[in-house]
Amino acid sequence: MTLSEFDLIERFFSDCGTPRDDVILGVGDDAAVLRVAPGMDLVATLDTLVEGVHFLPGTDAQALGYKSLAVNLSDLAAMGAEPLWATLSLTLPEAAPDWVDGFRAGFCSLAREAGVRLVGGDTTRGHRAVSVEAKGLVPRGMALRRSGARVGDGIFVTGTLGDAGLALRALRDGLPVEDLAFLRARLDRPQARVAVGRSLRAVASAAIDISDGLLADLAHVLGASGVGGVVWLQRLPLSAPVRHYLEAGGDWAIPAAAGDDYELCFTVPAANQGALEKLLGGLPCPVTRIGEITDGAGLRVLEPDGREFRAPRAGYDHFVRDA
């Protein structure tokens, strides 16, 4: 039986996520028909996860289903968009209903939680890979971009940094860590900061989600905005396991440069910092000021003792790239 005969998308995904009135036609026709509310801009993003590159061989299907949607929701969050619709492309070495069923459970549970409807997809035979496209809406002209940071703006991040990177070191290299269950949940089930992104529309000057590591992703903001920046490592928000790892002589590259955190990094002009403070109590996660936008180009990163920090490679770790 071939995968297309199997018709995995119709069989497993025809009722996936939150039913929505703006889905005029969903899974089952040649294409989906979606109704865009007046006064809104459509925001679209696509991410591909390849086995051996973006996830370890043998990764639990349910965790992968969850994460493949979560990383796309995170991109929409970084734009200040409200996620509404997704399409899915699955490339699989064989038709394995058990695997697909696990994947579906992870993907569709997050879709339900996030108010997203799966509206179409495709399956092909090949090396295992998952592509998800997510679409969302933002009020006209209000999408957050990478290019709006200006000299004097504060640099902020949500949540804590380095948890996913430390989990990966533990799982891949056998590094002993504290509270692996917590770290692993941060790696496998990232929480896209959708509500934060939405709140930041009128407050932030630029935003990005941290997929490749804080320093690499912040460098994208600086480059797109034509500015420089300074970040103080001792201000990075850390969970207890990452703090203890560093206190034991661990590498600052874990919170500063390891990927897969899916937190937001954003900049706020001084004039909007009062507005940001008013928002903070209503947000589902901490927000921490870690640096400042400066004149010139490039990012200066200072260690707690004031020395300049050199990351091993910017955005160096997309998991098993060397494997």
Rule CB under 5 A: which residues touch Mg ion? Answer: 75, 209
Instruction: Pick between residue 75 and residue 263 the one whose CB is nearest to Mg ion.
Output: 75
CB of 212 to Mg ion, least distance (A): 8
CB of 247 to Mg ion, least distance (A): 31
Please tell me whether residue 267 adopts helix, strand or coil conformation.
Answer: strand
Label the pairing between strands 129-139 and 82-92. antiparallel
CB of 109 to Mg ion, least distance (A): 23
How far apart (Å, rounded) are the C-alpha atoms in residues 60 and 71? 16
CB of 139 to Mg ion, least distance (A): 21
CB of 78 to Mg ion, least distance (A): 6
CB of 296 to Mg ion, least distance (A): 25
With beta carbons less than 8 A apart as the criterion, state whether 45 and 143 touch.
Answer: no
Instruction: Pick between residue 75 and residue 246 the one whose CB is nearest to Mg ion.
Output: 75
Strands of the 82-92 sheet, one edge to the other: 40-50, 129-139, 82-92, 117-125
How far apart (Å, rounded) are the C-alpha atoms in residues 83 and 204? 19
Instruction: Pick between residue 211 and residue 294 the one whose CB is nearest to Mg ion.
Output: 211
Q: Bridge partners of 268?
A: 154
With beta carbons less than 8 A apart as the criterion, state whether 296 and 145 touch.
Answer: no
Instruction: Pick between residue 75 and residue 317 the one whose CB is nearest to Mg ion.
Output: 75
How far apart (Å, rounded) are the C-alpha atoms in residues 253 and 114? 32
Please tell me whether residue 226 adopts helix, strand or coil conformation.
Answer: coil
Instruction: Pick between residue 32 and residue 263 the one whose CB is nearest to Mg ion.
Output: 263
How far apart (Å, rounded) are the C-alpha atoms in residues 217 and 214? 5
Instruction: Pick between residue 81 and residue 171 the one whose CB is nearest to Mg ion.
Output: 81
Does an H or E element contain 182, and which?
A: helix 180-188
